[in-house]
A and B are shown apart, each in its own frame.
Chain A
């Protein structure tokens, strides 16, 4: 019996020695922490540089991570001049806690509101560009988002520029109540004028585009593009489930679902987006920008 324990003890010592030795070796070859990152969707390890180079699209599962407006602008434009950047939300309903909530998001994101607007250049073209920020109160549309979009549409109309909007929104800004609702009518009315003037509006729906934003300017594009896998729908899945008391189909309200049902023109992966937008500008014979 003693023999048995001695044998085990000896084995354990050898094992520990080897194990420790190996561990030390591994430590010598330590890879810096930031070479790999985990895909937020499939949890797979992917090389960070590769991931960033592919504009935050997972090379394994093709998951398109949400981008903030600055990142989006950087990968979409060659240059960008921001407009209406100092527009701030107020509290029209005196809604309890709203100013504090806004302040929190301002600190967190470094942005004044949930939408960045301005004029960008893309290749040989000059475009009016708006990008919604899903990191700022879920990209919800209050007075500021509605006003910025409307002003941009009006500017694009008066300067006869094409319009490009990247939407990402949970829908209405609840805390602004009826004012939020009226932004739907306001943006849609401006786009009607814009459309009647024969100008091009490309709408890109990114994850997620829902509710009042989808049911107004996002779905009014001449060409509507969606990013793969984006959630795109009007009513919340939970609300629908509660209403119909049934499980929802697996791809329900996805970009691919909207393509199948005929509500978007194409699903385009982020890496190809710039090329597709440039081609659409060419096909619409949009006037090229002449530098002065």
Chain B
């Protein structure tokens, strides 16, 4: 019997969040060498949900900014389950500006349920931190490439996701909200998350068909954790090519293209046009 859409999508949601799914640290260690972690936003704190630093992609120095969920329970708590506070977004921006200064391409790795919803996060301006990142990233004069590894949760993901290219793992998800949050807002019932996921169009295929995602990184049947090497090697090869290509491009043209990429997103109707 053919699988129902609801089940297919829900399987992806579960794979995207799978306990054994490799997190950003594993991917960083595979893709880059001499990864050197840098800490702190220079304003308030070091947000451990953002794992960032400088590394070599083959012979090219790049800045890497990732959301890290942690693997063990202890690590998960340490990394706040990959949910950044404002200081995380400000640390990301600080290192992006640093990358701009030293003309290093930026690789962004997205894996977050969303920006952390808490009192401290609000007091320190979660919305402001995200807004500023969105605007600044649109104008950074270095090539930028974002990869959605697991969960791309809402503005918390997009705040490190404005880039020249957006790539996505086959079983990753990227959406306006978690299916649970979506179901709770729209249907006032968190238990309708599975149904919500099926209508949200949050899979890599959906986003690729909308032109939001440029490349899908394939995974083996059963998910990334069963054979990460397969997906990572595919990704590394493409990444080396793409970074070289973006580095060679004229920066003004690249910025114009980046602007246009986001400028054309949206669907509407107009009589006069």
Contact = CB atoms under 8 A, between A and B. Distances in A.
Contacts, number: 186
Nearest to B195: A96
Contacts of B138: 185, 188-189, 192-193
Contacts of A196: 139
Interface stretch (B22-30, B48-56, B126-134): B126-134
Contact of A182 (B121, B182, B262): B262
Given A179-B210, A263-B125, A88 B269 contact: yes
B174 interface: yes
A155 to B, nearest CB: 14
B259 interface: yes
Interface in B219-273: 258-259, 262-263, 265-272
B136 interface: yes
B202 A177 contact: yes
Nearest to A182: B265
Contacts of A249: 119
A139 interface: no
Given A86-B270, A239-B181, A184 B155 contact: yes
B190 to A, nearest CB: 10
Interface residues of A, number: 63
Given A93-B201, A181-B176, A235 B269 contact: no
Given A239-B181, A240-B118, A189 B263 contact: yes
A35 interface: no
Contacts of B116: 243
A180 B186 CA distance: 15
18 contacts: A90-B268, A92-B267, A143-B267, A146-B266, A175-B186, A177-B200, A178-B207, A179-B265, A180-B176, A183-B266, A185-B161, A189-B138, A192-B138, A196-B139, A218-B127, A234-B115, A234-B155, A261-B123
Interface of B: 115-119, 121-128, 130-132, 134-136, 138-139, 154-155, 158-159, 161-162, 174-177, 181-182, 185-186, 199-202, 206-207, 210, 212, 258-259, 262-263, 265-272
